[in-house]
Amino acid sequence: MGNKPDILLVEDEPAIREMVQFSLGRAGLQVREAEDVKTAQALLADNLPDLLLLDWMLPGMSGMDFARRLKREEYTRALPIIMLTARSDENDRVGGLDAGVDDYVVKPFSPRELAARIRAVLRRTRPDEAEGPLKAGELELDPLTHRATVRGNALEMGPTEFRLLRFFMSHSDRVYSRGQLLDKVWGQNAFVEDRTVDVHILRLRKALGIYGCDRMVQTVRGAGYRFSAKD
Ligand code: CA
């Protein structure tokens, strides 16, 4: 995985999933797929995406009800949501905006329109990425381009590792417990356990290790983790 914006698509029609996967892939976005709410929840717990693309009409729980639930949960409250709707749902859209959905795209949509809407929502919902690049020794992270580099070499990591690194680099030389990191990086939530932090710390160290920067992520026994560029 690279540092492309990570989109989770929840859609029960395979043909639409395939089309979205293909066209957004070409537009430089990374797409994970779920065919129903249950699968989507498992994927959300594993890794929070940058944006959720949610079909209105799903088997079991409807996309709209799922969106309402996500907006109530602390963990997913800030997750941007674009609903995919049919024309006939048009009258219900006002209710959706009340539920905190960020935008709607009406089927059938053009791949270009969809990509443009996604980018617009990401720009609006990630104002923190307007901050300048962060530096720690030879490691650099640019929130705007979503790239982490060492001496100009791009590091490969997942979106959660990227968020974790961004938090660390803007809060270096301080110790954070697993619980604090969950709050700061994942948001307080019901799905994620403390050991999830360890898993992502491991992945982050592995990504940094290629250029010898893994020791910047330090384990503080009995306390948690600290990021430091000092030896
Ligand atoms: Ca559907």
Q: Which domains does the chain have, with CATH numbers?
A: 6-125 (3.40.50.2300), 134-227 (1.10.10.10)
pLDDT tens digit string along 23-72? 999 888 899 999 999 999 999 988 889 999 999 989 888 888 999 999 98
The alpha carbon of 13 and the centre of ligand 1 are apart by a number of angstroms equal to 6
* Torsion angle of the four alpha carbons 228, 193, 1, 26, in this order, in degrees rounded to the nearest 10: -130
Lowest-confidence pick of 39-48, 86-95, 210-219: 86-95
Lowest-confidence pick of 131-135, 195-199, 225-229: 131-135
The alpha carbon of 67 and the centre of ligand 1 are apart by a number of angstroms equal to 15
pLDDT tens digit string along 128-163? 554 668 999 999 998 777 889 999 899 999 888 999
- Whether 35 contacts 11, CB under 8 Å: yes
The alpha carbon of 193 and the centre of ligand 1 are apart by a number of angstroms equal to 32
The alpha carbon of 58 and the centre of ligand 1 are apart by a number of angstroms equal to 5
The alpha carbon of 129 and the centre of ligand 1 are apart by a number of angstroms equal to 33
The alpha carbon of 87 and the centre of ligand 1 are apart by a number of angstroms equal to 13
CA distance linking residue 192 with residue 182, whole number of Å: 8
Q: Is the confidence at residue 3, as pLDDT, over 50?
A: yes
The tokens describing 146, both together, are: 């979503």
The alpha carbon of 38 and the centre of ligand 1 are apart by a number of angstroms equal to 15
Those residues whose beta carbon sits under 5 angstroms from the ion ligand 1 are 12, 55, 57
CA distance linking residue 151 with residue 117, whole number of Å: 34
Prediction pTM value? 0.57
Alpha carbon distances (Å) from 5 to 11, 58, 126: 19, 24, 11
**pLDDT of 96:** 63
The alpha carbon of 45 and the centre of ligand 1 are apart by a number of angstroms equal to 23
CA distance linking residue 216 with residue 213, whole number of Å: 6
The alpha carbon of 55 and the centre of ligand 1 are apart by a number of angstroms equal to 6
